[in-house]
């Protein structure tokens, strides 16, 4: 039962963060509005934070790539990079809002999305986890069903 709940939690969190990342990439590339059909134009947001407009092209391309990688099977190394990129982008947004002295709470949305990305990363199944840095370590020897190997004492 717990395994099934973890799997459902993973897919809900992953679907939400991947959808937001893909939509954000499209909005960035098209210079759309922050709420897709309404809200502040994304150009006004980034320039208000002190960034040049061309950063939207860079972020848009990487967001699209990251969202796709989170959803496709396999590619565990790219998934790690996608999660890292999403966290860099969201933590950068949080820091940007806080550093300009935002008092409207604009940092809350990226904070919630960062928590969602971390939830997806933490709940990912063994098939989507990159092995350890050093082959032959205990983590690499874990059972394929994700059952942890007892600690050696």
Q: What is the pLDDT of residues 96-128, one digit of tens each?
A: 999 999 888 899 999 999 999 999 999 998 888
> Alpha-carbon torsion 131, 136, 138, 143, what sign?
positive
With a pLDDT cut of 90, the percent of the chain lying above it is 70
For residues 128 and 7, the answer to whether their CB atoms sit within 8 Å is: no
| Domain count of the fold of the chain | 1
Residue 59 in domain: yes
145 pLDDT exceeds 70? no
Residue 135 in domain: no
Residue 152 in domain: no
Q: What is the mean pLDDT of the chain?
A: 87
- Show the domain range for 46: 2-128
133 pLDDT exceeds 80? no
**What is the pLDDT, as a whole number, of residue 111?**
96
**Residue in the block written with tokens 């007892």:** 150
Helix (H, G, I), strand (E, B) or coil at 140: coil
Residue 74 in domain: yes
**What is the pLDDT, as a whole number, of residue 142?**
54
**What is the pLDDT, as a whole number, of residue 107?**
93
Residue 104 in domain: yes
Give the residue among 34, 110, 95, 26 at the shortest CA–CA distance from 66.
26
**What is the pLDDT, as a whole number, of residue 74?**
87
For residues 42 and 32, the answer to whether their CB atoms sit within 8 Å is: yes
Residue 142 in domain: no
User: Which residues are CB-contacts of 36 (< 8 A; sequence separation ≥ 6)?
Assistant: 23, 27
pLDDT band at residue 65 under the 50/70/90 scheme: very high
Q: Taking the mean position of all CA atoms in its chain, how far away is CA 91? A: 10
Q: Give dist(CA 105, CA 90) in Å, integer.
A: 14
For residues 27 and 42, the answer to whether their CB atoms sit within 8 Å is: yes
Helix 2-30 to helix 55-71 angle (10° resolution) is 150
Using a cut of 0.75, tell me whether the model's pTM lies above it: yes
pLDDT band at residue 144 under the 50/70/90 scheme: low
146 pLDDT exceeds 90? no
């Amino acid at each position: 039962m717990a395994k099934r709940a973890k799997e459902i939690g993973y897919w809900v969190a992953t679907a939400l963060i991947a959808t937001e990342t893909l939509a954000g990439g499209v909005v960035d590339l098209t210079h759309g509005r922050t709420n897709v059909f309404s809200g502040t134009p994304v150009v006004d947001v980034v320039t208000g934070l002190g960034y040049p407009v061309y950063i939207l092209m860079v972020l848009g391309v990487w967001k699209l790539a990251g969202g796709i990688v989170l959803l496709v099977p396999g590619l565990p190394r790219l998934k790690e990079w996608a999660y890292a990129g999403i966290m860099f982008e969201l933590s950068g947004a949080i820091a940007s809002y806080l550093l300009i002295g935002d008092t409207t709470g604009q940092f809350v949305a990226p904070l919630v999305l960062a928590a969602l990305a971390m939830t997806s990363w933490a709940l990912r199944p063994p098939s989507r986890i990159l092995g350890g840095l050093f082959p032959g370590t205990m983590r690499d020897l874990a059972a394929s069903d994700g059952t942890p190997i007892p600690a050696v004492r």
